[in-house]
Structure 1
Amino acid sequence: MTLAPYKGIGDPKVHVTKFESMMFLNSDSDPILCRSFSTFLDGAALLRFSSLPAGSISSFDKFARLFINHIVASKIYVQDSDYLGTIKQGQHESLKNYMTCFTIAAIEISYLNPKVQLHAIKSGLRAGKF
């Protein structure tokens, strides 16, 4: 089982659960869990938890709650397909970058109608040739 570093996209509870499942195979020691968890973070999440004072976490459960609460409090929720209409390809943005940003947002929407998704992709493309 592999676990990609958490970059702030997706449900933090799912990330913690996957991490615990993966680590259960290797160790269930609180110190090891706490020290290992940061290796599965990236971006702002990694910077935030790297700045915690030494000794400020007494258990992995506390660490996980802190992580989930912080991410949930700062997360921008994409609630429905209307949000996809706001994603536009920038004047000098590559098609690859546009599709990456669009896909990341679309993954967060439950039960997204493929027709709505396709319409939003087309609407967000800048005019002209690829």
Structure 2
Amino acid sequence: MPKNFNLPTTLKPYEGTGDPNIHVTKFHSMMFLNSAFDPILCRYFPTFLDGATLLWFSSLPAGSISIFQELADLFTNNFTASKFYVHDSDYLSTIKQDQHESLLDYMMMFNKIAMEIPNLNPDIHLYVLKSGLHPSKFHKTITVAKPKTLAEFREKAIGQMKIEELRQVCWINKPTQSKEDDQKDLCESIN
């Protein structure tokens, strides 16, 4: 073993659900930080397997693996059916902002799914993101401003999210007569 070698402890064992490629990539990245080489990768990979995946590994003939890439290929090919269904860009068009859903919640849900789509074209991403907005002042603003990039859209969205957050604070803390008038005026101006 190399000096100062530390076995990663943050990687959860793969049990047969999820993308096996992601598990191999995480394992390889963590081991790379330790300057691990092929024999170490091959020996420690099974310590990050559990359940059916560990049984699968145990069924491999002794001495049948000569390099880690061979083990990784066998592993991913065997468990590729366990990979969760990945949506494509067409699925994004089904995501719509609900009437009472905050822009922040909509963007978080949309981006979570968008990140799972491999090689998503930024122009399609932007188009579908804008198309999913419910009719509102912000939707009108976006229609007029016509942001051409995701960065431009996000800049405008951040401003709208701040307004929504302030509205929420004002709604929760409705000004009473004893509070300062400027807070009341501020809350009324954003509504």
TM range (shorter): 0.5 to 0.7
**CA distance 1:65–1:103, shift in 2 (3 Å):** same
8 Å Cα contact 1:87/1:124 also seen in 2: yes
Q: Larger relative CO (CA 8 A, sep 6+): 1 or 2?
A: 1
Shift of 1:84: 1.7
Shift of 1:29: 4.7
Q: Which residue in the other structure is 1:97 paired with?
A: 105
Q: Which residue in the other structure is 2:48 paired with?
A: 36
Select 2:121's aligned residue among 108, 112, 116.
112
Which has the larger Rg? 2
1:7-46 equivalences under 5 Å are 8=18, 12-24=20-32, 25-26=35-36, 27-30=40-43, 32-36=44-48
2:93 alignment partner, SS class: helix
CA distance, structure 2, for counterparts of residue 93 and residue 125 of structure 1: 10
**CA distance 1:66–1:23, shift in 2 (3 Å):** farther
What is the number of equivalent residue pairs in this alignment?
107
Percentage identity across paired residues of the two chains: 37
RMSD: 3.8
Structure 2 gaps, min length 5 = 1-9, 61-67, 138-163, 165-191
* Cα displacement string for residues 83-114 of structure 1 (whole angstroms, at most 9, x for unaligned residues): 22111123444322321222233331425142
Structure 1 gaps, min length 5 = 38-48
1:77 alignment partner, SS class: coil
CA distance, structure 2, for counterparts of residue 109 and residue 122 of structure 1: 20
Shift of 1:117: 2.2
Q: Which residue in the other structure is 1:88 paired with?
A: 96
Whether 1:127 aligns to 2:135 is: yes
